[in-house]
Amino acid sequence: MLNRIFGIETEYGLLVNQDRPDHTPTWFAHQIRDHLFHVQHRGVLDLHHRGHDEPPGNGGFLTNAGRMYLDMGHLEYASPECHSLMDLVAVDRAGDLVLQQAIEELGFGDTISLIKNNIDHETDATFGSHENYLVTRRFPFSRRGLSPLVSFLVTRQIFTGSGRIGAASPQDAWIQMDRLIVPRAALHQGSPQTMIPFQISQRADHIVNDFFEWVQQNRAIINTRDEPLADPNQYRRIHLLLGDSNMAEYATALKMGTTGLVLQLIEDGKAPRGLDIDEPVETLQEISQDQDRQWIVRLQSGQSISAIDIQEQFLAAARDAYAGQDEETDWVLAQWEAVLTDLRGDYTKLVGRVDWASKLWLLESFREAEQLEWHDPTLKSLDLEYHNLRADRGLYFGLLEEGRVHRMTTDKAITLAMEHPPRNTRAFGRGELVRHLLADAPIAEPGSSVQDERYFPAYVINWSIFQVRGRTPFPMPDPFKTYAQDVRSHLQSL
Protein backbone atom coordinates (compact mmCIF):
# COMPACT_ATOMS: atom_id res chain seq x y z
CA MET A 1 0.00 0.00 0.00
CA LEU A 2 1.07 3.59 -0.56
CA ASN A 3 3.82 4.85 1.79
CA ARG A 4 3.23 2.17 4.39
CA ILE A 5 5.45 -0.43 6.03
CA PHE A 6 3.68 -3.14 8.04
CA GLY A 7 4.83 -5.66 10.62
CA ILE A 8 3.25 -8.12 13.06
CA GLU A 9 4.69 -9.56 16.27
CA THR A 10 3.03 -12.77 17.48
CA GLU A 11 3.39 -14.35 20.91
CA TYR A 12 2.30 -17.98 20.86
CA GLY A 13 0.62 -20.02 23.54
CA LEU A 14 2.12 -23.46 24.16
CA LEU A 15 -0.10 -26.19 25.59
CA VAL A 16 1.42 -29.36 27.07
CA ASN A 17 -0.98 -32.23 26.36
CA GLN A 18 -0.13 -34.24 29.48
CA ASP A 19 -1.83 -34.47 32.87
CA ARG A 20 1.55 -34.71 34.64
CA PRO A 21 4.05 -33.19 32.23
CA ASP A 22 7.76 -33.89 32.52
CA HIS A 23 8.65 -30.41 31.28
CA THR A 24 7.27 -26.89 31.40
CA PRO A 25 6.06 -24.94 28.36
CA THR A 26 9.17 -22.74 28.70
CA TRP A 27 11.43 -25.81 28.47
CA PHE A 28 9.73 -26.82 25.22
CA ALA A 29 10.04 -23.27 23.92
CA HIS A 30 13.80 -23.40 24.48
CA GLN A 31 14.05 -26.72 22.64
CA ILE A 32 12.15 -25.32 19.66
CA ARG A 33 14.31 -22.20 19.49
CA ASP A 34 17.52 -24.25 19.68
CA HIS A 35 16.28 -26.58 16.95
CA LEU A 36 15.53 -23.67 14.63
CA PHE A 37 18.97 -22.10 14.97
CA HIS A 38 21.32 -25.02 15.75
CA VAL A 39 19.79 -27.84 13.69
CA GLN A 40 17.69 -26.29 10.93
CA HIS A 41 20.04 -23.27 10.61
CA ARG A 42 17.14 -20.96 9.83
CA GLY A 43 19.01 -17.94 11.12
CA VAL A 44 21.71 -16.56 13.39
CA LEU A 45 21.39 -16.13 17.13
CA ASP A 46 22.10 -12.82 18.81
CA LEU A 47 25.60 -12.63 20.29
CA HIS A 48 24.87 -9.51 22.31
CA HIS A 49 22.48 -8.39 25.02
CA ARG A 50 19.38 -6.82 23.47
CA GLY A 51 18.06 -5.87 26.89
CA HIS A 52 18.03 -6.97 30.51
CA ASP A 53 15.60 -9.75 29.63
CA GLU A 54 17.21 -10.72 26.31
CA PRO A 55 20.66 -12.20 26.93
CA PRO A 56 22.89 -13.51 24.12
CA GLY A 57 21.33 -16.55 22.47
CA ASN A 58 17.76 -15.65 23.48
CA GLY A 59 16.76 -15.40 19.82
CA GLY A 60 17.90 -14.11 16.48
CA PHE A 61 17.14 -13.05 12.93
CA LEU A 62 15.98 -15.59 10.35
CA THR A 63 16.85 -15.84 6.68
CA ASN A 64 13.47 -14.28 5.91
CA ALA A 65 14.70 -11.24 7.92
CA GLY A 66 12.14 -11.71 10.69
CA ARG A 67 13.05 -12.47 14.31
CA MET A 68 12.29 -15.52 16.43
CA TYR A 69 12.96 -15.25 20.15
CA LEU A 70 11.66 -15.93 23.64
CA ASP A 71 9.67 -13.27 25.49
CA MET A 72 8.88 -14.09 29.13
CA GLY A 73 8.88 -17.78 28.24
CA HIS A 74 6.71 -17.40 25.14
CA LEU A 75 7.92 -18.08 21.64
CA GLU A 76 7.56 -14.84 19.70
CA TYR A 77 7.91 -14.16 15.99
CA ALA A 78 8.36 -10.67 14.58
CA SER A 79 7.70 -10.51 10.86
CA PRO A 80 10.09 -8.75 8.48
CA GLU A 81 9.07 -5.34 7.18
CA CYS A 82 6.40 -5.60 4.48
CA HIS A 83 5.25 -3.01 1.94
CA SER A 84 2.19 -5.00 0.81
CA LEU A 85 -0.63 -6.77 2.61
CA MET A 86 -0.14 -9.94 0.61
CA ASP A 87 3.52 -10.14 1.66
CA LEU A 88 2.47 -9.51 5.25
CA VAL A 89 -0.07 -12.34 5.26
CA ALA A 90 2.49 -14.71 3.73
CA VAL A 91 5.27 -13.92 6.23
CA ASP A 92 2.82 -14.05 9.14
CA ARG A 93 1.69 -17.53 8.14
CA ALA A 94 5.33 -18.46 7.46
CA GLY A 95 6.17 -17.87 11.12
CA ASP A 96 3.39 -20.26 12.16
CA LEU A 97 4.68 -22.94 9.82
CA VAL A 98 8.34 -22.53 10.81
CA LEU A 99 7.46 -23.25 14.44
CA GLN A 100 5.01 -26.07 13.73
CA GLN A 101 7.52 -27.84 11.47
CA ALA A 102 10.15 -27.61 14.21
CA ILE A 103 7.72 -29.19 16.67
CA GLU A 104 7.10 -32.08 14.28
CA GLU A 105 10.81 -32.61 13.61
CA LEU A 106 11.52 -32.71 17.34
CA GLY A 107 8.87 -35.39 17.80
CA PHE A 108 6.76 -33.15 20.03
CA GLY A 109 3.67 -33.21 17.81
CA ASP A 110 1.59 -35.31 20.20
CA THR A 111 3.07 -33.82 23.36
CA ILE A 112 2.51 -30.10 22.84
CA SER A 113 0.23 -27.84 20.85
CA LEU A 114 1.21 -24.41 19.56
CA ILE A 115 -1.76 -22.09 20.00
CA LYS A 116 -2.00 -18.81 18.08
CA ASN A 117 -4.35 -17.04 20.47
CA ASN A 118 -4.10 -14.39 23.21
CA ILE A 119 -5.48 -15.84 26.46
CA ASP A 120 -5.03 -18.62 28.98
CA HIS A 121 -8.47 -19.63 30.23
CA GLU A 122 -7.07 -21.09 33.44
CA THR A 123 -4.75 -18.31 34.64
CA ASP A 124 -6.27 -15.20 33.01
CA ALA A 125 -2.86 -14.53 31.43
CA THR A 126 -2.74 -12.76 28.10
CA PHE A 127 -0.10 -12.64 25.38
CA GLY A 128 -0.05 -10.30 22.49
CA SER A 129 -0.32 -9.75 18.80
CA HIS A 130 1.40 -6.43 18.18
CA GLU A 131 0.90 -4.43 15.01
CA ASN A 132 3.43 -2.01 13.56
CA TYR A 133 2.77 0.76 11.04
CA LEU A 134 5.34 3.23 9.75
CA VAL A 135 4.16 6.84 9.56
CA THR A 136 5.98 10.08 8.90
CA ARG A 137 7.42 12.13 11.75
CA ARG A 138 4.81 14.77 10.86
CA PHE A 139 2.05 12.44 12.07
CA PRO A 140 -0.01 14.33 14.72
CA PHE A 141 0.95 12.13 17.67
CA SER A 142 -1.09 13.88 20.35
CA ARG A 143 -4.31 13.07 22.17
CA ARG A 144 -6.23 15.36 19.85
CA GLY A 145 -4.50 14.08 16.72
CA LEU A 146 -4.98 10.45 17.74
CA SER A 147 -8.62 10.71 18.79
CA PRO A 148 -9.94 9.47 15.39
CA LEU A 149 -7.59 6.47 15.63
CA VAL A 150 -8.93 5.61 19.10
CA SER A 151 -12.51 5.62 17.80
CA PHE A 152 -11.53 3.44 14.87
CA LEU A 153 -9.55 0.94 16.98
CA VAL A 154 -12.24 0.58 19.64
CA THR A 155 -14.82 -0.32 17.00
CA ARG A 156 -12.80 -2.33 14.46
CA GLN A 157 -12.95 -5.45 16.69
CA ILE A 158 -16.33 -6.21 15.10
CA PHE A 159 -14.38 -7.69 12.17
CA THR A 160 -10.89 -8.19 13.63
CA GLY A 161 -11.70 -9.99 16.90
CA SER A 162 -10.87 -13.67 17.37
CA GLY A 163 -13.57 -14.33 19.95
CA ARG A 164 -13.42 -16.17 23.24
CA ILE A 165 -15.60 -17.95 25.77
CA GLY A 166 -16.06 -16.09 29.06
CA ALA A 167 -14.29 -13.00 30.36
CA ALA A 168 -11.14 -12.11 32.25
CA SER A 169 -11.33 -10.91 35.83
CA PRO A 170 -10.84 -7.17 36.45
CA GLN A 171 -7.27 -6.25 35.59
CA ASP A 172 -4.64 -5.13 38.09
CA ALA A 173 -3.82 -1.66 36.81
CA TRP A 174 -3.91 1.96 37.93
CA ILE A 175 -5.94 4.57 36.12
CA GLN A 176 -6.67 8.27 36.54
CA MET A 177 -10.09 9.29 37.85
CA ASP A 178 -10.41 13.05 37.93
CA ARG A 179 -7.35 14.03 40.01
CA LEU A 180 -6.88 10.67 41.69
CA ILE A 181 -4.90 7.60 40.60
CA VAL A 182 -6.93 4.55 41.63
CA PRO A 183 -6.70 0.79 41.01
CA ARG A 184 -9.05 -0.24 38.23
CA ALA A 185 -10.19 -3.28 40.23
CA ALA A 186 -11.62 -0.92 42.85
CA LEU A 187 -14.17 0.27 40.31
CA HIS A 188 -15.67 -3.23 40.23
CA GLN A 189 -15.90 -3.81 43.99
CA GLY A 190 -19.40 -4.60 45.10
CA SER A 191 -20.64 -5.32 41.58
CA PRO A 192 -20.82 -9.06 40.90
CA GLN A 193 -19.40 -10.29 37.63
CA THR A 194 -21.97 -11.71 35.29
CA MET A 195 -21.27 -14.78 33.22
CA ILE A 196 -20.22 -13.82 29.70
CA PRO A 197 -20.95 -16.77 27.40
CA PHE A 198 -18.97 -15.46 24.43
CA GLN A 199 -17.33 -12.21 23.39
CA ILE A 200 -15.82 -11.11 20.11
CA SER A 201 -12.34 -10.02 21.28
CA GLN A 202 -9.69 -11.80 23.32
CA ARG A 203 -7.61 -8.74 24.25
CA ALA A 204 -10.39 -6.27 25.09
CA ASP A 205 -10.64 -7.35 28.75
CA HIS A 206 -6.91 -6.77 29.20
CA ILE A 207 -6.74 -3.19 27.88
CA VAL A 208 -6.90 -0.74 30.78
CA ASN A 209 -5.81 2.65 29.39
CA ASP A 210 -6.34 4.74 26.30
CA PHE A 211 -2.68 5.87 26.10
CA PHE A 212 0.36 4.40 27.86
CA GLU A 213 4.04 3.84 27.09
CA TRP A 214 4.86 0.35 28.35
CA VAL A 215 3.40 -2.89 27.06
CA GLN A 216 3.38 -5.33 29.97
CA GLN A 217 1.61 -3.18 32.57
CA ASN A 218 -1.30 -0.86 31.89
CA ARG A 219 -1.82 -2.10 28.33
CA ALA A 220 -3.31 0.70 26.28
CA ILE A 221 -5.40 1.20 23.17
CA ILE A 222 -2.47 3.18 21.76
CA ASN A 223 1.08 2.52 22.89
CA THR A 224 2.97 5.82 23.13
CA ARG A 225 6.54 4.48 23.07
CA ASP A 226 8.61 6.35 20.48
CA GLU A 227 10.85 3.69 18.95
CA PRO A 228 10.82 4.18 15.17
CA LEU A 229 13.42 1.50 14.28
CA ALA A 230 14.18 3.83 11.37
CA ASP A 231 15.43 7.36 10.80
CA PRO A 232 13.83 9.21 13.75
CA ASN A 233 13.89 12.50 11.87
CA GLN A 234 11.63 11.10 9.15
CA TYR A 235 9.60 8.31 10.68
CA ARG A 236 7.56 7.19 13.66
CA ARG A 237 6.35 3.65 14.30
CA ILE A 238 2.76 3.24 15.47
CA HIS A 239 2.92 0.22 17.79
CA LEU A 240 -0.48 -1.28 18.67
CA LEU A 241 -1.07 -4.08 21.16
CA LEU A 242 -4.84 -4.15 21.60
CA GLY A 243 -5.60 -6.51 18.71
CA ASP A 244 -6.16 -10.26 18.58
CA SER A 245 -4.07 -12.82 16.75
CA ASN A 246 -5.96 -13.85 13.65
CA MET A 247 -6.11 -17.28 12.09
CA ALA A 248 -8.10 -16.06 9.09
CA GLU A 249 -5.84 -14.56 6.42
CA TYR A 250 -8.70 -12.31 5.34
CA ALA A 251 -9.04 -10.86 8.84
CA THR A 252 -5.29 -10.20 9.06
CA ALA A 253 -5.26 -8.37 5.72
CA LEU A 254 -8.40 -6.37 6.50
CA LYS A 255 -7.21 -5.45 10.01
CA MET A 256 -3.87 -4.14 8.80
CA GLY A 257 -5.23 -2.61 5.59
CA THR A 258 -8.07 -0.64 7.17
CA THR A 259 -5.81 0.60 9.95
CA GLY A 260 -3.23 1.68 7.39
CA LEU A 261 -5.87 3.71 5.53
CA VAL A 262 -7.11 5.36 8.72
CA LEU A 263 -3.54 6.37 9.55
CA GLN A 264 -3.31 7.87 6.07
CA LEU A 265 -6.53 9.80 6.66
CA ILE A 266 -5.07 11.21 9.88
CA GLU A 267 -1.78 12.09 8.19
CA ASP A 268 -3.64 13.94 5.44
CA GLY A 269 -6.06 15.69 7.81
CA LYS A 270 -9.05 13.90 6.26
CA ALA A 271 -10.25 11.69 9.11
CA PRO A 272 -13.92 12.07 10.09
CA ARG A 273 -14.50 14.24 13.16
CA GLY A 274 -17.13 14.23 15.87
CA LEU A 275 -16.68 10.51 16.62
CA ASP A 276 -14.77 10.84 19.90
CA ILE A 277 -15.90 8.07 22.26
CA ASP A 278 -16.94 9.06 25.80
CA GLU A 279 -15.15 6.20 27.63
CA PRO A 280 -12.91 4.35 25.15
CA VAL A 281 -11.62 1.57 27.45
CA GLU A 282 -15.04 0.71 28.85
CA THR A 283 -16.55 0.89 25.37
CA LEU A 284 -13.89 -1.46 24.01
CA GLN A 285 -14.98 -4.06 26.56
CA GLU A 286 -18.70 -3.37 26.22
CA ILE A 287 -18.59 -3.90 22.46
CA SER A 288 -16.69 -7.14 22.90
CA GLN A 289 -19.11 -8.45 25.53
CA ASP A 290 -22.38 -7.34 23.91
CA GLN A 291 -24.34 -10.59 23.57
CA ASP A 292 -26.94 -8.98 21.29
CA ARG A 293 -24.21 -7.63 18.99
CA GLN A 294 -25.86 -4.23 18.77
CA TRP A 295 -22.50 -2.60 19.62
CA ILE A 296 -23.92 0.78 20.69
CA VAL A 297 -21.30 3.45 21.45
CA ARG A 298 -21.79 6.66 23.43
CA LEU A 299 -19.86 9.60 22.00
CA GLN A 300 -18.51 12.60 23.90
CA SER A 301 -21.24 14.66 22.22
CA GLY A 302 -23.84 12.57 24.05
CA GLN A 303 -25.00 10.89 20.84
CA SER A 304 -25.38 7.12 20.69
CA ILE A 305 -24.24 5.38 17.53
CA SER A 306 -23.34 1.84 16.56
CA ALA A 307 -19.81 0.60 15.99
CA ILE A 308 -20.86 -0.30 12.44
CA ASP A 309 -21.96 3.30 11.84
CA ILE A 310 -18.57 4.57 13.04
CA GLN A 311 -16.74 2.16 10.78
CA GLU A 312 -18.90 3.19 7.83
CA GLN A 313 -17.94 6.84 8.36
CA PHE A 314 -14.25 5.93 8.26
CA LEU A 315 -14.89 3.80 5.16
CA ALA A 316 -16.67 6.66 3.40
CA ALA A 317 -13.81 9.07 4.17
CA ALA A 318 -11.21 6.58 2.93
CA ARG A 319 -13.19 5.81 -0.23
CA ASP A 320 -13.59 9.50 -1.06
CA ALA A 321 -9.88 10.18 -0.51
CA TYR A 322 -8.13 7.06 -1.78
CA ALA A 323 -10.28 5.04 -4.21
CA GLY A 324 -8.06 4.15 -7.17
CA GLN A 325 -4.87 4.84 -5.22
CA ASP A 326 -3.55 1.32 -5.83
CA GLU A 327 -4.83 -2.24 -6.21
CA GLU A 328 -4.53 -3.18 -2.54
CA THR A 329 -6.30 -0.01 -1.40
CA ASP A 330 -9.23 -0.81 -3.68
CA TRP A 331 -9.33 -4.37 -2.29
CA VAL A 332 -9.43 -3.05 1.27
CA LEU A 333 -12.19 -0.55 0.46
CA ALA A 334 -14.31 -3.20 -1.27
CA GLN A 335 -13.91 -5.79 1.48
CA TRP A 336 -14.36 -3.25 4.26
CA GLU A 337 -17.75 -2.37 2.76
CA ALA A 338 -18.66 -6.02 2.24
CA VAL A 339 -17.87 -7.07 5.79
CA LEU A 340 -19.74 -4.13 7.33
CA THR A 341 -22.79 -4.96 5.21
CA ASP A 342 -22.68 -8.58 6.34
CA LEU A 343 -22.27 -7.54 9.99
CA ARG A 344 -25.75 -5.99 9.80
CA GLY A 345 -27.23 -9.38 8.97
CA ASP A 346 -26.68 -13.02 9.94
CA TYR A 347 -23.21 -13.41 11.44
CA THR A 348 -22.79 -16.82 9.79
CA LYS A 349 -22.20 -15.01 6.49
CA LEU A 350 -18.80 -14.09 7.95
CA VAL A 351 -17.63 -17.65 8.62
CA GLY A 352 -14.19 -18.15 7.05
CA ARG A 353 -13.47 -14.42 6.93
CA VAL A 354 -13.92 -13.17 10.50
CA ASP A 355 -12.45 -15.29 13.29
CA TRP A 356 -14.97 -14.59 16.04
CA ALA A 357 -17.83 -15.46 13.70
CA SER A 358 -16.12 -18.65 12.54
CA LYS A 359 -15.44 -19.73 16.12
CA LEU A 360 -18.94 -18.83 17.36
CA TRP A 361 -20.54 -20.84 14.56
CA LEU A 362 -18.39 -23.89 15.37
CA LEU A 363 -19.07 -23.62 19.11
CA GLU A 364 -22.81 -23.05 18.66
CA SER A 365 -23.06 -26.03 16.31
CA PHE A 366 -21.25 -28.32 18.77
CA ARG A 367 -23.09 -26.94 21.80
CA GLU A 368 -26.49 -27.50 20.25
CA ALA A 369 -25.60 -30.97 19.00
CA GLU A 370 -24.30 -32.05 22.44
CA GLN A 371 -26.82 -30.02 24.49
CA LEU A 372 -24.08 -28.23 26.44
CA GLU A 373 -24.21 -25.06 28.52
CA TRP A 374 -21.72 -22.29 27.80
CA HIS A 375 -19.82 -22.97 31.03
CA ASP A 376 -19.03 -26.58 30.01
CA PRO A 377 -15.19 -27.01 30.01
CA THR A 378 -15.39 -28.88 26.71
CA LEU A 379 -16.22 -25.63 24.97
CA LYS A 380 -13.11 -23.95 26.38
CA SER A 381 -11.04 -26.77 24.92
CA LEU A 382 -12.67 -26.26 21.53
CA ASP A 383 -12.02 -22.52 21.87
CA LEU A 384 -8.28 -23.28 22.09
CA GLU A 385 -8.42 -25.87 19.31
CA TYR A 386 -9.63 -23.23 16.87
CA HIS A 387 -6.14 -21.71 17.18
CA ASN A 388 -4.13 -24.97 17.13
CA LEU A 389 -1.44 -24.67 14.43
CA ARG A 390 -1.33 -28.41 13.78
CA ALA A 391 -3.29 -28.70 10.56
CA ASP A 392 -4.94 -32.06 11.38
CA ARG A 393 -6.22 -30.77 14.74
CA GLY A 394 -6.90 -27.06 14.44
CA LEU A 395 -10.55 -26.22 13.91
CA TYR A 396 -9.63 -23.31 11.64
CA PHE A 397 -7.86 -25.75 9.34
CA GLY A 398 -10.97 -27.90 9.36
CA LEU A 399 -12.88 -24.96 7.90
CA LEU A 400 -10.08 -24.53 5.39
CA GLU A 401 -10.37 -28.15 4.25
CA GLU A 402 -14.12 -27.75 3.85
CA GLY A 403 -13.56 -24.79 1.52
CA ARG A 404 -15.19 -22.29 3.90
CA VAL A 405 -12.08 -20.09 4.31
CA HIS A 406 -11.29 -17.06 2.15
CA ARG A 407 -7.58 -17.40 1.25
CA MET A 408 -5.36 -14.37 0.67
CA THR A 409 -2.17 -16.20 -0.21
CA THR A 410 -1.04 -19.64 -1.36
CA ASP A 411 0.83 -22.51 0.27
CA LYS A 412 3.67 -21.92 -2.20
CA ALA A 413 3.97 -18.25 -1.19
CA ILE A 414 3.99 -19.18 2.50
CA THR A 415 6.71 -21.79 1.96
CA LEU A 416 8.78 -19.22 0.05
CA ALA A 417 8.30 -16.67 2.86
CA MET A 418 9.70 -19.15 5.39
CA GLU A 419 13.13 -18.74 3.80
CA HIS A 420 13.07 -15.47 1.88
CA PRO A 421 12.21 -11.88 2.87
CA PRO A 422 10.11 -9.44 0.86
CA ARG A 423 12.28 -8.02 -1.90
CA ASN A 424 11.01 -4.42 -1.78
CA THR A 425 11.92 -3.36 1.80
CA ARG A 426 15.12 -3.28 3.84
CA ALA A 427 14.26 -6.82 4.96
CA PHE A 428 15.86 -7.90 1.67
CA GLY A 429 19.23 -6.47 2.72
CA ARG A 430 19.00 -7.98 6.20
CA GLY A 431 18.20 -11.34 4.69
CA GLU A 432 21.38 -11.10 2.59
CA LEU A 433 23.34 -10.41 5.77
CA VAL A 434 21.89 -13.42 7.62
CA ARG A 435 22.64 -15.72 4.67
CA HIS A 436 26.20 -14.42 4.51
CA LEU A 437 26.75 -15.05 8.21
CA LEU A 438 25.31 -18.56 7.97
CA ALA A 439 27.58 -19.40 5.03
CA ASP A 440 30.69 -17.71 6.43
CA ALA A 441 30.67 -18.71 10.10
CA PRO A 442 31.29 -22.13 11.67
CA ILE A 443 28.02 -23.80 12.52
CA ALA A 444 27.36 -23.86 16.25
CA GLU A 445 26.58 -27.27 17.72
CA PRO A 446 23.38 -27.85 19.67
CA GLY A 447 23.82 -26.74 23.25
CA SER A 448 26.89 -24.64 22.51
CA SER A 449 27.23 -21.31 24.27
CA VAL A 450 27.50 -17.87 22.75
CA GLN A 451 28.67 -16.39 26.05
CA ASP A 452 32.34 -16.23 24.99
CA GLU A 453 31.44 -13.58 22.40
CA ARG A 454 29.29 -11.41 24.62
CA TYR A 455 31.98 -8.73 24.95
CA PHE A 456 33.39 -8.85 21.40
CA PRO A 457 30.65 -10.40 19.28
CA ALA A 458 31.43 -11.34 15.69
CA TYR A 459 28.29 -9.50 14.63
CA VAL A 460 25.54 -7.34 16.04
CA ILE A 461 22.23 -7.13 14.16
CA ASN A 462 19.40 -4.73 14.93
CA TRP A 463 16.43 -3.72 12.79
CA SER A 464 18.02 -0.55 11.44
CA ILE A 465 21.77 -1.19 11.77
CA PHE A 466 24.31 -3.99 11.90
CA GLN A 467 28.03 -4.41 12.53
CA VAL A 468 30.28 -7.31 11.51
CA ARG A 469 33.72 -8.15 12.90
CA GLY A 470 34.08 -4.84 14.69
CA ARG A 471 34.16 -2.89 11.44
CA THR A 472 32.23 0.27 10.69
CA PRO A 473 28.52 -0.12 11.53
CA PHE A 474 26.20 -0.30 8.54
CA PRO A 475 23.03 1.76 9.10
CA MET A 476 19.77 0.98 7.29
CA PRO A 477 17.54 3.90 8.34
CA ASP A 478 15.07 3.75 5.42
CA PRO A 479 12.67 0.78 5.60
CA PHE A 480 11.53 1.44 2.01
CA LYS A 481 15.05 0.86 0.65
CA THR A 482 16.24 -2.73 0.08
CA TYR A 483 19.97 -2.10 0.73
CA ALA A 484 20.61 -5.51 -0.86
CA GLN A 485 23.46 -4.50 -3.18
CA ASP A 486 24.90 -2.14 -0.54
CA VAL A 487 24.96 -4.96 2.00
CA ARG A 488 26.64 -7.32 -0.47
CA SER A 489 29.32 -4.71 -1.27
CA HIS A 490 29.87 -4.01 2.42
CA LEU A 491 30.29 -7.69 3.25
CA GLN A 492 32.70 -8.26 0.35
CA SER A 493 34.97 -5.52 1.72
CA LEU A 494 35.37 -7.21 5.10
Q: What is the mean pLDDT of residues 147-153?
A: 98
Q: How far apart, in whole angstroms, are the C-alpha atoms of residue 8 and residue 396?
A: 20
How high is the pLDDT of residue 191? Answer: 45
Task: Confirm whether 247 is domain-assigned.
Answer: yes
Is residue 494 very low, low, confident or very high in pLDDT (cuts 50, 70, 90)?
Answer: confident
Give the pLDDT confidence of 415-444 residue by residue, as tens digits.
Answer: 999 999 999 999 999 999 999 999 986 544
Residue pair 204/164 in contact by the 8 Å Cβ criterion: no
Which residues, 6+ apart, have CB-to-CB distance to 70 below 8 Å?
26, 29, 30, 33, 58, 59, 76
DSSP tag of 35? I
Quickly count: other Cβ atoms within 10 Å of residue 102's Cβ.
22
Domain count, the chain: 1
How high is the pLDDT of residue 452? Answer: 52
Task: Confirm whether 101 is domain-assigned.
Answer: yes
> 46, 71, 92, 383: which is the annotated catalytic residue?
71
Task: Confirm whether 251 is domain-assigned.
Answer: yes
Task: Confirm whether 473 is domain-assigned.
Answer: no
Whether residue 114 is predicted with pLDDT greater than 90 in this model: the reply is yes
Task: Confirm whether 420 is domain-assigned.
Answer: no
Q: What is the mean pLDDT of residues 193-215?
A: 87
Task: Confirm whether 146 is domain-assigned.
Answer: yes
Q: What is the mean pLDDT of residues 251-278?
A: 98
The pTM assigned to this predicted structure is 0.93
DSSP tag of 126? B
Domain encompassing residue 347: 6-414
Whether residue 57 is predicted with pLDDT greater than 50 in this model: the reply is yes
Q: What is the mean pLDDT of residues 86-97?
A: 98
Give the pLDDT confidence of 304-323 residue by residue, as tens digits.
Answer: 999 999 999 999 999 999 99
Which residues, 6+ apart, have CB-to-CB distance to 170 below 8 Å?
184, 185, 187, 188, 193
- Which comes out higher in pLDDT, residue 45 or 219? 45
- In this predicted structure, which of 142-156, 215-229, 383-397 has the lowest mean pLDDT? 215-229
Active site residue 440: no
Q: How far apart, in whole angstroms, are the C-alpha atoms of residue 307 and residue 287?
A: 8
Residue pair 459/468 in contact by the 8 Å Cβ criterion: yes
Task: Confirm whether 476 is domain-assigned.
Answer: no
Whether residue 449 is predicted with pLDDT greater than 90 in this model: the reply is no
How high is the pLDDT of residue 441? Answer: 66
For the chain, the average pLDDT equals 92
3-state secondary structure 257-296: HHHHHHHHHHHCCCCCCCCCECCHHHHHHHHHHCCCCCCE
Residue pair 294/163 in contact by the 8 Å Cβ criterion: no
In degrees rounded to 5, what are phi and psi of residue 219? -60, 140
Whether residue 384 is predicted with pLDDT greater than 90 in this model: the reply is yes
Q: What is the mean pLDDT of residues 229-250?
A: 97
> What's the start-to-end Cα distance of the chain, in Å?
36
Which residues, 6+ apart, have CB-to-CB distance to 260 below 8 Å?
1, 4, 6, 133, 332
How high is the pLDDT of residue 72? Answer: 86
Task: Confirm whether 462 is domain-assigned.
Answer: no
CATH of the domain at 305: 3.30.590
Could you give the percent of the chain with pLDDT greater than 70? Answer: 91
